[in-house]
Structure 1
Amino acid sequence: MKSFLPLFELQVLLIFVITQICSLLLKPLGLAQFISQMMAGLVLQACFEVEPLGTGLRKLFPYGTHDTISTISSIGFVLFIFINGVQMDFSLITRMGKRAWAIAIAGLVVPLFTSISALILFNNHVTKYIGDYDNLVVALVSHTVISFAVIASLLNELKMQNSELGKLALSSALVSDVLCTIATTTGTALMVTDDSGVSKVVKNLFSLVAMGVFVPLLCRPAMFWIIKHTPEGRPVKNSYIYIIISMVFLLGWLSVKINQEFVLGAFVLGLSVPEGPPLGSALVKKLNFFSTTFLLPIYVTTSMLKADFSMDFSSVSVITIAFVIIMTHFIKMISCIVSALSCNIPLRDALSLALILNSKGVVEIGLYCFLYDNEIIDGQAFGVMIVSIMMIASIVQWSVKFLYDPSRKYGGYQKRNMISLRSWSELRMVVCIHKINHISSMIDLLDLCCPTAENPITVDVLHLIELVGRALPIFIHHHFQRQGTGFRKSYSDDIILAFDIYEHNNPHAITAYPCTAISPPSLMYEDVCNLAFDKVASIIILPFHLRWSTDGEVEYDDKNIRALNCRVLEISPCSVGILVSRRASLQIRDSCIRLAMVYLGGQDDEEALCIAKRAIRNPGVNLVVYHLVANNSEEEVDDDDDEELQDVKYEHSVRYQQVIAMEGSETASFLRHIVKEHDFFIVGRRHGISSPQTDGLTNWSEFPELGVIGDFLASPDLQSRASILVVQQQLSVKKHDGWLL
């Protein structure tokens, strides 16, 4: 206990344990993660006042160690700001729409101008009862500004980055954060604490401009040089990473020398780093655990120990500060809502957007700690503002969850499926690709659907990439890029080239629009569903999350792909197909394809039958339809099913076979018998439908997203090389906002 290192380790361990306990207790309430860290600080502060517990804690935290652990943990806050600077797509400011600019400027200027005008108007009363403007000005300005890091963290916890509202909020926050940084740094440079006067101001301003200009001008080309000398697919050398991290602290030291906050240098350098892989993602991966996961929670918890909660909450100064905070947020809410409504945003979404842009978090905690340490605000004001952060963050988190549902746009009456298409209609599809080896199987499926000039297919090819090293999700339409000027390099060059060649080889039959979506794996479903909704697609084709080698071994098992598939099946605005690929290529044009359709009845099987009927237009496809029926005289026959099967029964190129299966074991025996006779199977998912033919098979189903039949055919125990397409028709009933549509 007399050595610093063991003492520091015990302090960190205690803070970590209390933080995790608070996080576990508050998790059911759906609060932001940093609030549990703040609550841990309050618990720790309260323990100091309780004897004999306080005596033990004072031995663990002797005089002076608060500042030591705060200083060490503040490294985490600096790296947190640096990481958020790295994740910012700074070029977004020059190419974003007018809505983000209008909302950001209105949310910044209107409350700031209104509140400052009110303070000036009531100057005499404020001076008489409070005596100091500093606390009120800090409360006013800090609750007006919008922090990009705070908004990005909030949207990440709400899982809203990919939603339209989330992207607009991030864009507005980016504009506001840059404008606020310019304004506050300039204001800080104009402040002098000694008698040097004008010369000191000029020196600060010149140094600030030099840092803002020369750091990006010199560092960004150096970053691109590092990227250029990093082989494709290989990680960035650790030596480069360590040099950049050293520059973070060097620029922080220079920031202090020019009368600025330490984090300014880290923020400017972060903006100079090209976001995304390989360099931006490497820095984020290297620093994220050390800063955000380890040191930042300690920083937030120890910051709470500085707050003075022994003040009189009925005092005039405390009430005045609280009133200023409430009025600032009220005016900011009104200005954001009005500006959003003027941009044709629905009222409910406008209210959600205003709440998001009013959120406060870790950045404000760091700001108040800096102001408190420099004696710009007192302990009472610090305590009031800390409490305000907790209350505002909680209100925003709960309110946005209640108000905004990104999936509600998919709830509608319009039928978007294969069975509703006219025989001569154009087929619109969305094809999703995660890995390069998905390309050939998706092209084979398009060939199977027999695109012709009379029955063309328009396919939107969506390349899904995990978001790493940037905060703002990106959606790229490569069709527009090819029409533009100067853009060559793409995230999806192989996919673009493959489908360009495929489109060229099928003139007037195939039209391909390649796109790239870079987003978190847990939110990729929104990119898929948004694209299908906007393009009025009839079906979405998703790759299965497992891939087998030729000898039957699993090559990869991607849980993120499976989670995406399940989520799309739940909320898709159109029909969905999951493709289980087991062959390198079907080679439809060069050989005869033995296609099988296993039919039991129901909407999903009807949808699958429509795809099978479209495939037989290709002379290279031989279709066999196996109609499984139970030998039960009381079984009711669906007239619609009979009507759908009539065309297939009497089609000369189709072999129709009725199979009697009284229970699941007979169905399994029959499928084992035919599985090696075919190259491709099309089946319906039939989710939630029970029938005698599948009784007992459900208990052995490993992947419910494939349905009972699809899951059985996909089992590696069958040693089959046949690919499988599992189809789910667009859900006809969607529950949304308490109504059944």
Structure 2
Amino acid sequence: MDHTSSINATSLILPKPSLEADSKFVCGSPEFDSPKGIFTGYSPLDSVFPTFILQLIAGIVISRVIYLVLRPFRQSKILCSVLGGIVLGPSVMGLNMKFREALFPPIEMGLLNTFSTLGVMYTLFIVSVKTDYMTLVCRAGRITWVIGFAGTFFPWITLMCLFYSYHDYLPPSLQLKFIPFFVASILSLTFFAVVAFALDELNLLTSELGQLSLSSSLIGDLLQWLFVVTVASFKQGSTTQAVAAFASTFIVILICIYGIRPALLSIIKKIPQGQAVDEVYVILILLGASLMGFVTDFVGSSITYGPIILGFIIPGGPPLGSILVEKAECFVMEILLPLFFIRIGYELDVSSLRNWKTSVVLACIIFVGYFAKFLGIFVSSISFKLRPRTAFLLGLIMNNKGIIEFIIYFRWKKYGVLDEETFVVMMLSSLAITAFIAPLTERLYKPQVRLAPNNRRRGTLTIQTTPCTSQFRVITCVHNEENVNSIISLLEASNPTEMSPICVYVIHLEELRGNAAPLLAPYIAKKKKIFMRTNSPISDHIFTAFENYSGNSNGPVIVRPFTMIAPYKSMHENICKIAQEKLTPLIIVPYHENQTHIHGNRVASLIRAFNTNLQTYAPCTVGILVDRSTCQMNTYSFSYNVAVIFIGGEDDREALAYAERMSGHVDVSLTILHVSLRIKKQGELDHTNKGKNKGKSKEAEKEKEKEEEEAMEMEMLMDDALYDEFKVKNISNACVVCREVVAESNAQVMDAIQSLEANYDLVMVGRSRYQVMELNDIEMPSRRSKNNEPLGLIGDALVSSDFYQGWLSLLVLHRCRGPS
């Protein structure tokens, strides 16, 4: 051992006397020399840990570079990580033997193999924690089961027929008795985690297509774990040992379900509301994932199966599931998992494809299987009268391949189930189909298109167009308990009557944390089944408050509670869908500033983006409620003082229409401040911009001016008509006061607003108006704020500390506009 004594972990590579996947093993020496630095002639690559660190850094850097290059083509991060491992492996950079021996010396691969296995274990643990099977099963309809079965069994039958028809043309491992059955099964399945990752990358989680894809992939996941246990038991030496391993694994599952899960539920119940899980429990559960891997490996199953079992029994979402994902996901997915992809790249050698005839035949069979899966999903979707475009896209998404397939392929290779050639063909086929699907799906399906504001054929629902003798439907979005009181007060002021009752759809919005699938479901007060997702205490308190209000209001109020768990970036899609389905003329959402002290700046910025998306895509009027009041709602002695600032434009008309509804409530006092703008002629406006349009023809300028003047006149006529109608209806109403002022500049507008008294419970304004933009804004440069763009010019000014010491509650209404 003279040669090996010069390095830290002295070893010998000897032939392995077995027929398993690895042909060599490492015999290590207990001697260990501490490094003395490069000045003594020591090379860091002669030691295990420096080599391991270099492998880690190289894998992450190359994967990130590939991701940045391919991101414009909508390629996923996981696919780019696998490509990074292949680049480092013997297929690309590893073709240089000096590079391969320096970065991947066989005697120092033990640490990489250990940590990559640990990364796989914890990745599967996180994936299983984020997967709520029972919720998916409960909300899966007949269409999802039919599509799931069609997309699984049709390709399976096709692949089995092809494997046995071309038996003699396949690689050696696929000529064995049972191997084609397992390979065809895995190629036919669609895994929930893979679909969820792909949809998240494409921002389609909350879309109709995304929801249908997730539910349909449930079949693949349910069958997957049966194959995992079966294959793990299949590696045993005899039938008796296989049955013993299977039975032992089943006993472990029962212990987890009826022993560990109830203990976890009792821990959750003891956590005070609003507080995080004790760090001790988090550490114990994360260690438990490793312990479960040891247990399942000990009983003869797979070492990766234990973390999966533990993840399944942990209640997803807050407070436990979310904190586990938050604590572990970044390190596991960004540090440990790339080591597994490096290992895949090290094992994937394209030069092993020596028999191109068998490789091409196998690749063709696999792609025929993909097409059969697509065809089965497409035909079954069409049979349920889905649009051909939706059925086509669903077939594409369900063919996505990802981390679960890569893990299964790799472990089968290590077990000797797959030979080198079959492993390479299956990996490359999976990467090719995934790389093809992502950009095609992105190009064909754009969820924002179906949310285009104000489709003219459908029309836009508004407060003005809602008859005063029909049910007044409102969607209220609630982030936390502090939003409840102000929204209930606003609903009570909206004057529910027997002739025009209020139906309010209360939606508690929660950020998707600790779950892979978004959720939009009616609220169920009590859930006693052990696997049902438990309601959060905040949801219970919020909906209880609204139910109590419904039972004690002065008029008929119907409450329809919903829970929505989704990413904020796409949450508005479901809200818009509900507004379309329920024909609601008004959506009320809290202002993002009110959430900062509760959720922090990060969530507050996400809520601000959510509000902006709603204002852009909602099919009705959106009201942003800035709550700065300190009074509590009391239905027995209700009193509400409201001011409306009416300047002009469609948003202000919505505010006035809402005030007209409130005017019928005997306990609501209304003050209407009508600011008439004295607009200058077009030639006098904005003299500082005279030189901007010199290149334009005079005819085009005159035509544009004429169109603008006609549009302005039409807006003014509609403003005057609505205001006059309001005054006539409330001429004898002692609770309504109308004030009229004339203004020639924004400064005069602000002076008129400041003349209002400070004892109002709420001030209502429109977000934007046609006429006020014609005034000179030079006098108020400080009023412009990017953070307050959803509130508009007047709303921005009213929420500032210059007005009423910043204690003014405000409702900013915005009517969704049609395409220009």
Q: Same fold (TM over 0.5)?
A: yes
Kindly report which structure 2 residues correspond to 1:322-361, keeping only aligned pairs within 5 A, or say none. Answer: 322-361=363-402
Aligned to 2:498, the other structure's residue is in SS state coil
Gapped regions of structure 1 (runs ≥ 5): 735-741
1:61-460 paired onto structure 2 within 5 Å = 61-92=104-135, 94-95=137-138, 96-124=140-168, 126=170, 140-190=184-234, 192=236, 194=237, 197-311=238-352, 315-410=356-451, 412=455, 413-460=458-505
Tell me the equivalent position of 1:738. none
**Worse-superposed segment, 299-308 or 74-83:** 299-308
Paired AA for residue 716 in structure 1: S
Of 680, 684, 697, the residue aligned with 2:766 is 684
Q: Distance in 2 between matches of 1:20 and 1:490?
A: 39
- In the superposition, relative to structure 1, how do residues 688 and 519 fare at CA in structure 2: closer, same or farther (>3 Å)? farther
Q: Deviations 1:478-519 (Å, cap 9, x if unpaired)?
A: 3x6589999997431211221122111226521111221122
* 1:544 equivalent among 583, 591, 603: 591
**Distance between the aligned counterparts of 1:50 and 1:488, measured in 2?**
51
**How far apart are the structure 2 equivalents of 1:285 and 1:387?**
32
Q: Deviations over 1:267-306 (max 9, x none)?
A: 1121121222222222222221221122112322331121
| Residue matched to 1:569 | 615
Look up the match of 1:666.
748
Within 2, Cα distance between the matches of 1:255 and 1:72? Answer: 18
1:676-725 per-residue CA deviation (whole Å, 9 max, x = no partner) reads 36442211112787622363457742111111111111112322422111
Structure 1 range deviating more: 454-463 or 295-304: 295-304
Alignment-derived partner of residue 617 in structure 1: 664
Kindly state the Cα deviation for residue 8 of structure 1 after the two structures are TM-superposed. Answer: 2.2
Other-structure match for 2:704: none
1:422 is displaced (CA, Å) by 1.7
Contact 1:139–1:325, Cα closer than 8 Å, also in 2: no
- The whole-number CA distance in structure 1 between the counterparts of 2:622 and 2:274 is 33
| Paired position in structure 2 for 1:632 | 680
Q: 1:58 aligns with which of 90, 98, 101?
A: 101
Contact 1:162 1:523 in 2 (8 A): yes
CA-CA distance at 1:337 after TM superposition:
1.4
SS at 1:458 equivalent: strand
Q: Pairwise CA RMSD of aligned residues?
A: 3.2
Alpha-carbon distance change, 316 to 675 in structure 1, aligned in 2, over 3 angstroms: farther
- Distance in 1 separating the partners of 2:239 and 2:176: 25
**Secondary structure, counterpart of 1:525 in structure 2:** helix
Are the counterparts in 2 of residues 169 and 356 from structure 1 also a CA contact under 8 Å? yes
User: Shift in Å at residue 125 of structure 1?
Assistant: 5.4
What TM-score do the two structures reach when normalised by structure 2? 0.82
**Does the aligned pair in 1 maintain the 2:659–2:670 contact within 8 Å?**
no
Secondary structure of the structure 2 residue equivalent to 1:73: helix
Which amino acid is the alignment partner of residue 455 of structure 1? S
- CA distance in 2: counterparts of 1:129 and 1:59, whole angstroms: 32
Q: 2:798 aligns with which of 713, 722, 737?
A: 713
Q: Offset of 1:47 from its aligned partner?
A: 6.1
Contact 1:136 1:324 in 2 (8 A): no
Instruction: Please point out which of 8, 12, 16 is paired with 2:56.
Output: 12
Are the counterparts in 2 of residues 429 and 458 from structure 1 also a CA contact under 8 Å?
Answer: yes
Q: In structure 2, do the counterparts of structure 1 residues 618 and 482 end up closer, same or farther at CA, with 3 Å as the change threshold?
A: farther
How far has the Cα of 1:416 moved from its partner? 1.0
Q: What amino acid does structure 1 have at the position aligned with 2:656?
A: L
* Contact persistence 1:547–1:556 (CA under 8 A): no
Specify the code of the residue in structure 1 equivalent to 2:422.
A
After TM superposition, give the deviation of residue 463 of structure 1 in Å: 0.9
1:382: how far off?
2.4
State the shift of 1:117 in Å.
2.3
Number of aligned pairs?
Answer: 725
User: Is 1:733 aligned to 2:819, yes or no?
Assistant: yes
Residue of 623, 627, 643 corresponding to 2:721: 643
Deviating more after overlay: 232-241 vs 361-370: 232-241
- Structure 2's unaligned 5+ residue stretches are 1-43, 683-708
Residue 551 of structure 2 is aligned to residue 473 of structure 1: no
Q: 1:61 to 1:129 in 2, by over 3 A?
A: closer
Q: Which amino acid aligns with 1:571?
A: Y
| Counterpart Cα distance in 2 of 1:522 and 1:678 | 34
Q: Which moved more, 1:410-419 or 1:575-584?
A: 410-419
Residues 14, 662 of structure 1: CA spacing in aligned structure 2 closer, same or farther, 3 A cutoff? Answer: same
What are the Cα deviations for residues 433-456 of structure 1, in whole angstroms up to 9, with x where unaligned?
101110111011112222222222
Larger radius of gyration: 2
* Closer/same/farther in 2, CA of residues 253 and 571 from structure 1, 3 Å limit: same
Cα distance change on mapping 1:305 and 1:127 into 2, 3 Å: closer
Task: Report the Cα distance in structure 2 between the residues aligned to 1:370 and 1:609, rounded to whole angstroms.
Answer: 67
Summarize the Cα distance change of 1:67–1:717 in structure 2 as closer, same or farther, 3 Å threshold: farther
Paired amino acid for 1:712: A
> Which of 489, 492, 495 is the aligned partner of 2:542?
495
Cα distance in 2 for partners of 1:433, 1:130 equals: 56
In structure 1, give the amino acid aligned to 2:548: I
Amino acid at match of 1:639: L
Residues 535-572 of structure 1, C-alpha deviations (whole Å, 9 max, x = no match): 111110010011399xxx99965112111101111111
What residue in structure 2 maps to residue 29 of structure 1? 73
The answer to whether the 8 A contact 2:649-2:769 is kept is no
TM-score (norm 1): 0.90
| Match 2:646 to one of 599, 610, 613 | 599
Mapped partners of 2:328, 2:568: distance in 1 = 21
371-380 or 723-732: bigger deviation: 371-380
Structure 2 CA distance for aligned equivalents of residues 430 and 489 of structure 1: 24
Query: CA–CA distance in 2 between the matches of 1:303 and 1:681?
Result: 62
Summarize the Cα distance change of 1:444–1:131 in structure 2 as closer, same or farther, 3 Å threshold: closer
Question: Which residue matches 1:527?
Answer: 574
Deviation per residue, 1:634-669 (Å, 9 max, x gap)? 775432222111123443344434433323333334
Q: Secondary structure at the match of 1:156?
A: helix
Alpha-carbon distance change, 221 to 556 in structure 1, aligned in 2, over 3 angstroms? closer
Task: Tell me which residue corresponds to 1:739.
Answer: none
CA distance in 2 between partners of 1:384 and 1:286 (Å): 36
- 1:89 alignment partner AA: D
Structure 2 residue identity aligned to 1:423: C
Shift of 1:178: 1.4
Alignment equivalent of 1:693, drawn from 775, 779, 782: 775
Residue equivalent to 2:789: 704
| Sequence identity (%) | 27
1:588–1:395 Cα change, 3 Å = same
- 1:584 corresponds to which residue? 630
TM-aligned CA deviation for residue 408 of structure 1: 4.8
Measured after TM superposition, the shift of residue 385 of structure 1 is: 2.2
Residue 488 to residue 24, structure 1, CA distance change in 2 (3 Å): closer
Shift of 1:72: 0.8
Deviations 1:141-200 (A, max 9, x none): 3321222211111122122222232222222222321112214422542454x4xx4323
Contact 1:313 1:319 in 2 (8 A): no
The aligned counterpart of 1:737 is none
Distance 1:561 1:518, change over 3 A: same
